[in-house]
């Protein structure tokens, strides 16, 4: 089968996959849930959720804010709360958010010494973290004064935008963003069923694993031929990464035209890396979600 290899911003018209009328098939896993009630003498009606950190990467180009918001919308099928966390973005990157979401003005958010959540639509929030705030929040001693529950009643998905910034060369990725990579539970690599793109994605995965061997890597196949070729592309690509990178790939799903098949529960699990605890402890207090009493 001949595959259309033409790219639009390197993502094969990814935006069109998440706009308009779409048919979404969600793969659900069998899970047993245990309801945990707070102590009767507890006056605290709010508990922070368990946090899972992820990032969506492409070997071709960084996803646009509108595309990330659309992805967040889809992932809410599994997560009651999704947050887009923008780490030290350029002003132009931030203003791209302002064009599609009700975020504060650049001068207002950069002048705020505290990190805060800004709702942009139902169940989706936005957080700006400056570089100095980031370095302050990842200090190990912060967990002495912050509690982080790894078994919370709810799970919130934090989408980092983007650990690659505006430069997606593997070398630059290694040097500039090693600390950020240590925080990520999952990296989802958006690929096309195209040999050239798969080769670039392989190099990007290798670069990520060189900095964080415990990173959970998954792929999301998007573009012409994704519906018919996803199985063979995933299986063969997984064999290669397993053999040469010692990493078993997860499969988040595929998108072609107006059809999307998604398995958002893939992103549920944490790595539980001690290096993550200070940052997760800090952010978890921003998500004081009320316990639903039924």
Residue 2 has pLDDT above 50, yes or no: no
Q: Give domain status of residue 39, yes or no.
A: no
Spatial strand order in the sheet of 23-26: 23-26, 259-262, 250-256, 216-222, 186-191, 50-58, 155-161, 81-87, 124-129, 117-121
The total of structural domains in the chain comes to 1
What is the pLDDT, as a whole number, of residue 97? 94
Q: Give domain status of residue 38, yes or no.
A: no
What is the pLDDT, as a whole number, of residue 90? 86
Q: Give domain status of residue 31, yes or no.
A: no
Strand locations in 88-185 (E): 117-121, 124-129, 155-161
Convert the pLDDT of each residue in 73-84 to its tens digit: 989 888 989 999
What is the pLDDT, as a whole number, of residue 213? 85
Q: Give domain status of residue 36, yes or no.
A: no
Q: Give domain status of residue 143, yes or no.
A: yes
- If you average pLDDT over every residue of the chain, what do you get? 77
pLDDT category at 279 given cuts 50, 70, 90 is confident
Q: Give domain status of residue 180, yes or no.
A: yes
Q: Give domain status of residue 1, yes or no.
A: no
CA distance 7 to 198: 13
CA distance 5 to 86: 31
Residue 157 has pLDDT above 80, yes or no: yes
pLDDT category at 46 given cuts 50, 70, 90 is low
Task: Give me the CATH number covering residue 95.
Answer: 3.40.50
Q: Give domain status of residue 35, yes or no.
A: no
Q: Which residue range(s) make up the domain with 56?
A: 14-21+48-287
Residue 145 Cα distances to 138, 142, 150, angstroms: 13, 6, 16
- Mean per-residue pLDDT, 171-189: 71
């Amino acid at each position: 089968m001949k595959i259309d290899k033409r790219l639009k911003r390197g993502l094969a018209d990814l935006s069109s996959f998440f706009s308009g009328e779409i048919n979404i098939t969600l793969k659900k896993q069998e899970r047993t849930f245990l309801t945990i009630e707070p102590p009767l003498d507890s006056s605290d009606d709010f508990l922070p959720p368990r946090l899972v950190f992820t990032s969506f990467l492409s070997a071709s180009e960084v996803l646009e804010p509108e595309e990330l918001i659309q992805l967040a919308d889809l992932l809410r099928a599994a997560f009651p709360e999704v947050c887009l966390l923008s780490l030290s973005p350029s002003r132009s990157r931030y203003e791209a958010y302002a064009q599609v979401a009700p975020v504060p003005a650049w001068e207002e958010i950069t002048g705020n010494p505290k990190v805060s959540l800004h709702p942009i639509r139902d169940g989706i929030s936005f957080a700006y973290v400056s570089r100095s705030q980031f370095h302050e929040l990842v200090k190990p001693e912060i967990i002495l004064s912050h509690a982080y529950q790894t078994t919370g009643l709810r799970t919130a998905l934090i989408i980092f935008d983007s650990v690659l910034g505006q430069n997606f060369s593997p070398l630059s990725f290694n040097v500039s963003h090693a600390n950020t990579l240590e925080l990520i539970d999952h990296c989802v690599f958006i690929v096309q069923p195209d040999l050239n793109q798969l080769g670039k994605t392989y190099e990007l995965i290798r670069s990520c694993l060189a900095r964080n061997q415990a990173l959970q890597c998954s792929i999301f196949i998007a573009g012409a031929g994704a519906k018919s070729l996803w199985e063979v592309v995933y299986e063969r690509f997984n064999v290669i990464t397993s053999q040469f990178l010692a990493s078993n790939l997860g499969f988040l799903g595929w998108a072609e035209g107006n059809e999307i098949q998604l398995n958002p529960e893939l992103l549920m699990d944490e790595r539980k890396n001690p290096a993550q605890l200070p940052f997760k402890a800090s952010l978890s207090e921003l998500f004081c979600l009320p316990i639903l009493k039924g």
